[in-house]
Each structure stands twice: as C-alpha cells, then as structure tokens.
Amino acid sequence: MGLFLGAIPLFAYSFASKNTQRLKEALKELSIWIGGISILFALIVYLFRVPVMQLFTDDSAVIKVGLIVLAAQLVSSVFNGFSGLFTGIFEASGLGGQTGIMATIQGILYIPIVIILHQFYGLTGLIWSMTLTEGIAFVAGLIMLIPYLLKLNNGKLMENQPELAVAE
C-alpha cells in the first residue's frame, strides 16, 4: 500500500505536466516492485505458514482453519497490490469513472460475494470471498488499464487536458 499510495503524487505530477515518459517509467517500476514484494512476501510466509500460525496458538483446529485463512489472504494481497496501483493511476490521471469502478468493486461488491459464497460454501466461502473480490478488482483494473496504456502510448490520453503551469 505504501508504494502505490506514495506514488499517486508522482503519477499526478507526471500526468499534469504531460510527462508521459516519466508516467510510464513510474508505472513500470512500481508494477515490478509491487509484484516482486507481494509475491516474495506471500511465498516466504506460505513456506513458513505452520511456524507462523504456531506463533499465535497451539490449538490444531485453529491452526487448520488459520492455514486456509492465511493462504486466502496471501493470494488476496498480491491482487490488492495491483488493484491499488490501478486505482492510484486512474485517480492521479483524473479518471473518476475508472476510480469509482475500482472502489465499487472493492467495497460494495464484497458484501454480496461474502453472502453468496457463505451461503454455498460456508466458512470456506467466507474465507475466500475477499480473495475473489480482489481478483475481480484486479481483472477489472487490468481491463481498464489496457486502453489507458494504449492512449498513453499514442499520446491521446493527454490531448484534452488543459495546460498547467508546472515547474520542471
């Protein structure tokens, strides 16, 4: 979260100054860092999942459920990192529609997914509902990011943007 939240001002500054090169480089660099950190952390914690769970309890029933929760949350964290990045780039570029869609998916869509998955799959559905919601947000963000990047690469994203006095 710190990476994509901290980069929003950089994205916004680059977008406002119409510096597409800096915007693309920042997006690429952040994607690599977010992917690398979240996947590496998830793998490390997953590999040591039993000792991690045993730090909190010795109850085998709690550990059994905790391992499922941990797996779901680790997968969710990878999706969440990119979903946050997508939301940040849309927000910084003044794309309220895309930002709203991402926020709606992550917030409002979560509730029906929890209810439906719990109804059909019980506790397991409840546990995996956040992961499913984040996965949907990731896919939606990726679908919206593709035209964004195409317009950015073709120089059409910033065509209708007013000139701003931004110091270089």
Q: List per-residue pLDDT tens for the chain, 168 residues long.
A: 788 888 889 899 988 888 889 999 999 999 999 999 999 999 999 999 999 899 999 999 999 999 999 999 999 999 999 999 999 999 999 999 999 999 999 889 999 999 999 999 999 999 999 999 999 999 999 999 999 999 988 888 766 555 544 455
76 contacts 130 by C-beta, under 8 angstroms: yes
Neighbours of 114 (CB within 10 A): 16
70 contacts 56 by C-beta, under 8 angstroms: no
The answer to the question of residue 162 being in a domain is no
Task: Of 149, 40, 136, 44, give the one whose Cα is nearest residue 89.
Answer: 149
The answer to the question of residue 87 being in a domain is yes
107 contacts 134 by C-beta, under 8 angstroms: no
User: Which domain covers residue 41, as residue numbers?
Assistant: 2-154
Q: How many domains does the chain have?
A: 1
The answer to the question of residue 159 being in a domain is no
The answer to the question of residue 31 being in a domain is yes
pLDDT, residue 1, reads 78
For the entire predicted model, the pTM comes to 0.84
